[in-house]
Amino acid sequence: MTSRSPASRKRTAFAKRSFDIVVSSAALVVLSPVLLAIAALVRVRLGSPIIFRQQRPGLGGRAFTLYKFRTMINETVDEHGDPIDSVRRTPQWAYKVRSMSLDELPELWNVIKGDMSLVGPRPLLMDYLPRYSPHQARRHEVRPGITGLAQVSGRNAIGWSERLDLDVRYVDEHDMRMDLEILRRTIVTVVKREGIRHAADDDMPMFQGSEEGGTTGSTAL
Protein backbone atom coordinates (compact mmCIF):
# COMPACT_ATOMS: atom_id res chain seq x y z
CA MET A 1 0.00 0.00 0.00
CA THR A 2 1.28 3.45 -0.87
CA SER A 3 1.08 5.87 2.04
CA ARG A 4 0.22 9.42 1.02
CA SER A 5 -0.42 12.52 3.05
CA PRO A 6 -3.92 14.06 3.20
CA ALA A 7 -2.57 17.07 1.28
CA SER A 8 -1.25 14.79 -1.48
CA ARG A 9 -4.56 12.96 -1.71
CA LYS A 10 -6.42 16.28 -1.89
CA ARG A 11 -4.20 17.52 -4.73
CA THR A 12 -4.69 14.26 -6.62
CA ALA A 13 -8.47 14.41 -6.15
CA PHE A 14 -8.62 18.02 -7.41
CA ALA A 15 -6.44 17.30 -10.45
CA LYS A 16 -8.40 14.13 -11.22
CA ARG A 17 -11.78 15.85 -11.03
CA SER A 18 -10.60 18.79 -13.16
CA PHE A 19 -9.19 16.40 -15.74
CA ASP A 20 -12.44 14.39 -15.76
CA ILE A 21 -14.60 17.45 -16.45
CA VAL A 22 -12.39 18.90 -19.19
CA VAL A 23 -11.78 15.63 -21.05
CA SER A 24 -15.37 14.33 -20.76
CA SER A 25 -16.87 17.61 -21.93
CA ALA A 26 -14.52 17.75 -24.91
CA ALA A 27 -15.15 14.08 -25.72
CA LEU A 28 -18.93 14.57 -25.75
CA VAL A 29 -18.55 17.41 -28.26
CA VAL A 30 -16.01 15.66 -30.49
CA LEU A 31 -17.82 12.31 -30.38
CA SER A 32 -21.33 13.71 -30.80
CA PRO A 33 -21.63 12.36 -34.39
CA VAL A 34 -20.68 8.89 -33.11
CA LEU A 35 -23.18 9.16 -30.26
CA LEU A 36 -25.95 10.15 -32.67
CA ALA A 37 -25.06 7.35 -35.08
CA ILE A 38 -25.13 4.69 -32.36
CA ALA A 39 -28.38 6.09 -30.96
CA ALA A 40 -29.96 5.84 -34.42
CA LEU A 41 -28.64 2.29 -34.86
CA VAL A 42 -30.07 1.16 -31.52
CA ARG A 43 -33.42 2.81 -32.27
CA VAL A 44 -33.69 1.09 -35.68
CA ARG A 45 -32.41 -2.33 -34.62
CA LEU A 46 -33.74 -2.63 -31.04
CA GLY A 47 -36.38 0.06 -30.72
CA SER A 48 -36.91 1.93 -27.47
CA PRO A 49 -35.41 2.62 -25.06
CA ILE A 50 -32.14 3.69 -26.62
CA ILE A 51 -30.40 4.28 -23.31
CA PHE A 52 -29.95 1.54 -20.73
CA ARG A 53 -30.37 2.90 -17.19
CA GLN A 54 -29.49 1.02 -14.03
CA GLN A 55 -28.77 1.83 -10.42
CA ARG A 56 -25.12 1.19 -9.57
CA PRO A 57 -23.07 1.82 -6.41
CA GLY A 58 -20.78 4.81 -6.57
CA LEU A 59 -18.53 6.61 -4.11
CA GLY A 60 -19.17 5.23 -0.64
CA GLY A 61 -21.55 2.64 -2.11
CA ARG A 62 -24.21 5.30 -2.74
CA ALA A 63 -26.52 4.53 -5.66
CA PHE A 64 -26.52 6.53 -8.87
CA THR A 65 -28.10 6.01 -12.28
CA LEU A 66 -25.64 4.71 -14.87
CA TYR A 67 -26.28 5.45 -18.56
CA LYS A 68 -25.22 3.20 -21.46
CA PHE A 69 -26.44 2.46 -24.95
CA ARG A 70 -28.74 -0.56 -24.92
CA THR A 71 -27.19 -3.58 -26.61
CA MET A 72 -29.58 -6.42 -25.69
CA ILE A 73 -33.01 -7.42 -26.90
CA ASN A 74 -35.85 -6.94 -24.42
CA GLU A 75 -36.90 -10.60 -24.35
CA THR A 76 -35.46 -12.54 -21.41
CA VAL A 77 -37.16 -15.92 -22.08
CA ASP A 78 -37.60 -17.93 -25.28
CA GLU A 79 -40.77 -19.44 -26.76
CA HIS A 80 -40.48 -22.34 -24.32
CA GLY A 81 -40.23 -20.08 -21.29
CA ASP A 82 -36.55 -20.84 -20.77
CA PRO A 83 -34.22 -17.98 -19.78
CA ILE A 84 -32.16 -16.46 -22.59
CA ASP A 85 -28.59 -15.82 -21.52
CA SER A 86 -26.96 -12.48 -22.20
CA VAL A 87 -24.82 -13.82 -25.05
CA ARG A 88 -27.91 -14.86 -27.04
CA ARG A 89 -29.66 -11.60 -26.13
CA THR A 90 -26.84 -9.60 -27.72
CA PRO A 91 -27.05 -9.34 -31.54
CA GLN A 92 -23.81 -9.61 -33.48
CA TRP A 93 -23.77 -5.91 -34.40
CA ALA A 94 -24.33 -4.99 -30.74
CA TYR A 95 -21.51 -7.27 -29.67
CA LYS A 96 -19.23 -5.33 -32.03
CA VAL A 97 -20.40 -2.07 -30.43
CA ARG A 98 -19.62 -3.52 -26.99
CA SER A 99 -16.26 -4.89 -28.12
CA MET A 100 -15.19 -1.34 -28.98
CA SER A 101 -16.73 -0.02 -25.72
CA LEU A 102 -18.89 2.38 -27.72
CA ASP A 103 -21.89 1.45 -25.57
CA GLU A 104 -20.05 3.12 -22.67
CA LEU A 105 -19.97 6.59 -24.24
CA PRO A 106 -23.09 7.91 -22.43
CA GLU A 107 -21.18 7.38 -19.18
CA LEU A 108 -19.25 10.53 -20.07
CA TRP A 109 -22.35 12.34 -18.80
CA ASN A 110 -22.04 10.40 -15.53
CA VAL A 111 -18.47 11.69 -15.28
CA ILE A 112 -19.50 15.30 -15.83
CA LYS A 113 -22.24 14.94 -13.21
CA GLY A 114 -19.70 13.64 -10.69
CA ASP A 115 -21.17 10.14 -10.39
CA MET A 116 -18.10 8.60 -12.01
CA SER A 117 -14.53 9.28 -13.05
CA LEU A 118 -12.81 8.46 -16.32
CA VAL A 119 -10.62 6.00 -14.38
CA GLY A 120 -11.60 3.97 -11.34
CA PRO A 121 -13.10 0.60 -10.36
CA ARG A 122 -15.99 -0.28 -12.67
CA PRO A 123 -19.43 0.25 -11.06
CA LEU A 124 -20.89 -3.23 -10.63
CA LEU A 125 -24.33 -4.27 -9.35
CA MET A 126 -26.11 -3.07 -6.22
CA ASP A 127 -26.75 -6.74 -5.37
CA TYR A 128 -23.02 -7.25 -4.92
CA LEU A 129 -22.63 -4.79 -2.03
CA PRO A 130 -23.36 -7.27 0.81
CA ARG A 131 -21.22 -9.94 -0.87
CA TYR A 132 -17.92 -8.06 -0.68
CA SER A 133 -15.36 -8.78 2.00
CA PRO A 134 -14.22 -5.69 3.96
CA HIS A 135 -11.12 -5.63 1.76
CA GLN A 136 -13.11 -5.83 -1.47
CA ALA A 137 -15.58 -3.17 -0.29
CA ARG A 138 -12.72 -0.65 -0.28
CA ARG A 139 -13.21 -0.35 -4.05
CA HIS A 140 -15.95 2.16 -3.18
CA GLU A 141 -13.52 4.57 -1.49
CA VAL A 142 -13.12 6.33 -4.85
CA ARG A 143 -15.53 7.19 -7.66
CA PRO A 144 -16.15 4.33 -10.08
CA GLY A 145 -14.66 4.70 -13.54
CA ILE A 146 -15.44 4.13 -17.20
CA THR A 147 -12.19 2.18 -17.29
CA GLY A 148 -9.87 0.94 -14.60
CA LEU A 149 -6.82 -1.07 -13.65
CA ALA A 150 -8.75 -4.36 -13.83
CA GLN A 151 -10.05 -3.53 -17.31
CA VAL A 152 -6.54 -3.06 -18.73
CA SER A 153 -5.31 -6.17 -16.90
CA GLY A 154 -7.63 -8.65 -18.58
CA ARG A 155 -11.09 -7.04 -18.64
CA ASN A 156 -13.68 -9.86 -18.27
CA ALA A 157 -11.11 -12.59 -18.86
CA ILE A 158 -9.77 -12.54 -15.29
CA GLY A 159 -11.55 -13.95 -12.23
CA TRP A 160 -13.40 -11.97 -9.59
CA SER A 161 -10.78 -12.33 -6.85
CA GLU A 162 -7.98 -10.91 -9.00
CA ARG A 163 -10.24 -8.27 -10.45
CA LEU A 164 -11.36 -6.93 -7.07
CA ASP A 165 -7.81 -7.02 -5.73
CA LEU A 166 -6.79 -4.81 -8.67
CA ASP A 167 -9.61 -2.41 -7.81
CA VAL A 168 -8.32 -2.05 -4.24
CA ARG A 169 -4.76 -1.69 -5.49
CA TYR A 170 -5.98 1.23 -7.61
CA VAL A 171 -7.61 2.84 -4.56
CA ASP A 172 -4.29 2.70 -2.67
CA GLU A 173 -1.89 3.67 -5.45
CA HIS A 174 -3.68 5.89 -7.96
CA ASP A 175 -2.37 9.23 -9.08
CA MET A 176 -2.61 11.18 -12.34
CA ARG A 177 0.34 9.34 -13.84
CA MET A 178 -1.39 6.00 -13.21
CA ASP A 179 -4.67 7.34 -14.63
CA LEU A 180 -2.99 8.48 -17.83
CA GLU A 181 -1.26 5.13 -18.23
CA ILE A 182 -4.57 3.27 -17.70
CA LEU A 183 -6.24 5.47 -20.32
CA ARG A 184 -3.41 4.71 -22.76
CA ARG A 185 -3.67 0.98 -22.10
CA THR A 186 -7.46 1.17 -22.43
CA ILE A 187 -7.13 2.44 -25.99
CA VAL A 188 -4.80 -0.48 -26.80
CA THR A 189 -7.14 -2.99 -25.16
CA VAL A 190 -10.19 -1.67 -27.02
CA VAL A 191 -8.38 -1.62 -30.36
CA LYS A 192 -7.28 -5.24 -29.84
CA ARG A 193 -10.75 -6.13 -28.43
CA GLU A 194 -9.18 -8.21 -25.66
CA GLY A 195 -11.00 -9.80 -22.72
CA ILE A 196 -14.51 -8.83 -23.80
CA ARG A 197 -16.00 -12.11 -22.58
CA HIS A 198 -14.96 -14.36 -19.73
CA ALA A 199 -14.85 -17.30 -22.16
CA ALA A 200 -15.34 -17.75 -25.89
CA ASP A 201 -19.11 -18.04 -25.70
CA ASP A 202 -19.97 -16.84 -22.21
CA ASP A 203 -20.08 -13.64 -20.19
CA MET A 204 -18.47 -13.02 -16.82
CA PRO A 205 -20.16 -15.13 -14.10
CA MET A 206 -22.17 -13.22 -11.53
CA PHE A 207 -20.21 -12.40 -8.37
CA GLN A 208 -21.49 -14.61 -5.55
CA GLY A 209 -19.07 -13.62 -2.81
CA SER A 210 -15.47 -14.25 -1.94
CA GLU A 211 -15.40 -17.55 -3.83
CA GLU A 212 -14.67 -17.66 -7.56
CA GLY A 213 -17.39 -18.67 -9.97
CA GLY A 214 -21.13 -18.23 -9.69
CA THR A 215 -24.13 -18.42 -11.96
CA THR A 216 -23.68 -17.14 -15.47
CA GLY A 217 -25.41 -13.92 -16.33
CA SER A 218 -24.85 -10.42 -17.57
CA THR A 219 -22.96 -8.08 -15.31
CA ALA A 220 -23.47 -5.32 -17.91
CA LEU A 221 -19.96 -4.10 -17.51
| Res 56: pLDDT | 98
pLDDT at 1 over 60: no
Q: What is the mean pLDDT of residues 80-90?
A: 84
For 2-33, write each residue's pLDDT tens digit.
567 788 888 889 999 999 999 999 999 999 99
Q: What is the mean pLDDT of residues 75-94?
A: 85
114 or 213: which carries more pLDDT confidence? 114
* Dist CA 153 CA 102 (whole Å): 19
Residue 84 pLDDT class (50, 70, 90 cuts): confident
| Res 192: pLDDT | 77
- The whole model's pTM is what? 0.85
- DSSP per-residue string spanning the chain: -----HHHHHHHHHHHHHHHHHHHHHHHHHTHHHHHHHHHHHHHHH-S-SEEEEEEE-GGG-EEEEEEE--S-S--B-TTSPBPPHHHHS-HHHHHHHHTTGGGTTHHHHHHHTS-EEESSPP--GGGGGGS-TTGGGGGGS--EEE-TTGGGTGGGS-HHHHHHHHHHHHHH--HHHHHHHHHHHHHHHHHT-S-SSBTTBPPBPP-SSSS---B-----
Q: What is the mean pLDDT of residues 158-175?
A: 94
pLDDT at 190 over 50: yes
160 or 76: which carries more pLDDT confidence? 160
pLDDT at 128 over 80: yes
